[in-house]
Structure 1
């Protein structure tokens, strides 16, 4: 057991398209590989790295964590912020670590990339795990606006009700609509549970001391959402048809959502469940958008059960 927790913590920087990406690995290369695809666009893998990567490796996985090109600790002034570029970098990880197959663990926007990669390279994907994955962007925005409007109505907050009314008149495909909507989600605590478990409290308290979390935890790379919106129209993506196609092709897909993740309605989670099956999804009480930290034991147990 001690060997599992102390085995090969390796920091790696690898070259792709003549640029350097930040990559860190946890665990033993001979174990089943899991590539973590972080959220955003514009975010990074720091919080997962600080809270969960080593613990997942301790369950017998070789965990690969990286920041996408032009985001977080992978600065690149020439980044294009396209799916082709992002998928090529995932392919670069496969080549660097000589992976024949890997599990793609896609958190939030990372779930989109997991599905896109599997659509092109199904034979290289051992399984996909969607963690609070953003699969239907427009439905998420409508969900958020309905929830914050209800909050403001209960508070009789006329000013913010006017702001919501203005957002509803915006171009729903535009980045401004996306940004203002998610801004209200953050203002109203829709990303996290109302009451954290004792386990989660300890995890969040621990991360406050982490130097990387202090530096990068709330850092957003502004050019990434602009680029992905311009080139890939990510604010209008609906990945459910692609999810259906992958399941039809026998690609193993699992999902974990937090019941208190205000970005998703029960209807959205039910749509995912209908496609992948009840036995391949866990809808965890007491968890928000960072389900891997909010209910970590359940999250890790699910992955061990499904993937081993």
Structure 2
């Protein structure tokens, strides 16, 4: 009996300590409504959210938890499997370490895929989910990037980049290289930035230019993460339609917030999300691109305020 009790204590300690070696940032009062921010990528980090928006969110009555996934960003040195299973173990460790029963998960870009899958597996731990610039269909996202880039190159009579697009269109669309090259075109064509940011966004982007931590990590990608997630989870072919329909059937609250200038997503993809969740649960904002929490910060915060119970 003593052996069994010792074993149970060991297993409990192992479970509750899972997240202890992660670099985790918190903002606000632990008694307030808990929000966990899940960053994009794979291979990116949460720094820009933390330095621009997390504290303001906390000032509106939230306990905000933010971290970089294992093997990515500030946790790059930690040994990682780059699987959803391990990602969920870390998330469950965070729930345990901070004595959380239910939270709102805010998933940005790839982080929204993580949030959706986690909610399917652990619905009892979800108060609500906010999908911020999240790909409903990865394949639709790649097609949107390629079609938009191709038009830009045609208008510029850019024969070199048109030849690259031609090569890209001949590739296996599920391949890691296909995804990587598509995102390279998205970056070079400014698909992640609004053309006319509002005054608040301009202030925030100015802050970013002078913030040493953001500058250190803003363009820092962990290249092992996307490759390994592709090998282990085939993430380039993920389509969330069935998953989101399932969450809706289970009665979980899911909301979306997107920018009309986000070059990664077609209007069709946003409309598909509206069809699933309902028009009133998806905000589609002007003067806004991929970083909705910067481009339309107040609207982003207002959405979360409306979810508090």
- Shorter-chain TM-score bucket reads over 0.9
Q: Are residue 98 (structure 1) and residue 99 (structure 2) matched?
A: yes
> Is this contact kept in 1: 2:257–2:282, CA < 8 A?
yes
The ranges of structure 1 where at least 4 consecutive aligned residues each deviate by more than 2 angstroms after the TM superposition are 14-19, 75-78
Report how far residue 156 of structure 1 moved: 1.2
Report how far residue 307 of structure 1 moved: 3.1
Q: What's 1:189 paired with?
A: 190
Q: What's 2:4 paired with?
A: none
Q: Are residue 293 (structure 1) and residue 262 (structure 2) matched?
A: no
CA distance in 1, matches of 2:229, 2:168: 21
Q: What's 1:71 paired with?
A: 72
Q: What's 1:45 paired with?
A: 46
Structure 1 unmatched ranges of 5 or more: 1-13
Q: What's 1:89 paired with?
A: 90
> Is this contact kept in 1: 2:18–2:89, CA < 8 A?
no
Q: Are residue 33 (structure 1) and residue 49 (structure 2) matched?
A: no
Deviations 1:72-97 (A, max 9, x none): 11134521000000011010110000
CA distance in 2, matches of 1:84, 1:47: 26
Which of the two has higher C-alpha Rg?
Answer: 2
CA distance in 2, matches of 1:293, 1:87: 27
Relative to structure 1, is the Cα distance of residues 189 and 227 closer, same or farther in structure 2, using a 3 angstrom cutoff? same
Q: What's 2:245 paired with?
A: 244
Classify the secondary structure of the residue corresponding to 1:62. strand
Q: What's 2:265 paired with?
A: 264
> Is this contact kept in 2: 1:118–1:125, CA < 8 A?
yes
Classify the secondary structure of the residue corresponding to 1:73. helix
Structure 2 unmatched ranges of 5 or more: 1-14
> Is this contact kept in 2: 1:15–1:21, CA < 8 A?
no
> Is this contact kept in 2: 1:144–1:182, CA < 8 A?
yes
> Is this contact kept in 1: 2:274–2:282, CA < 8 A?
yes
Classify the secondary structure of the residue corresponding to 1:35. strand
> Is this contact kept in 2: 1:111–1:135, CA < 8 A?
no
Classify the secondary structure of the residue corresponding to 1:172. coil
CA distance in 1, matches of 2:198, 2:58: 23
Give the aligned length: 295
> Is this contact kept in 2: 1:191–1:261, CA < 8 A?
yes
Relative to structure 1, is the Cα distance of residues 50 and 158 closer, same or farther in structure 2, using a 3 angstrom cutoff? same
- Equivalence map 1:117-136=2 (5 Å): 117-136=118-137
Report how far residue 15 of structure 1 moved: 8.1
Q: Aligned Cα RMSD in Å?
A: 1.4
CA distance in 2, matches of 1:76, 1:241: 35
> Is this contact kept in 1: 2:175–2:236, CA < 8 A?
yes
Classify the secondary structure of the residue corresponding to 2:228. helix
Relative to structure 1, is the Cα distance of residues 18 and 103 closer, same or farther in structure 2, using a 3 angstrom cutoff? closer
Q: What's 1:281 paired with?
A: 282
Q: What's 2:143 paired with?
A: 142
> Is this contact kept in 2: 1:16–1:89, CA < 8 A?
no
> Is this contact kept in 2: 1:82–1:228, CA < 8 A?
yes
> Is this contact kept in 2: 1:51–1:293, CA < 8 A?
yes
Classify the secondary structure of the residue corresponding to 1:261. coil
Q: Normalising by structure 2, report the TM-score.
A: 0.93
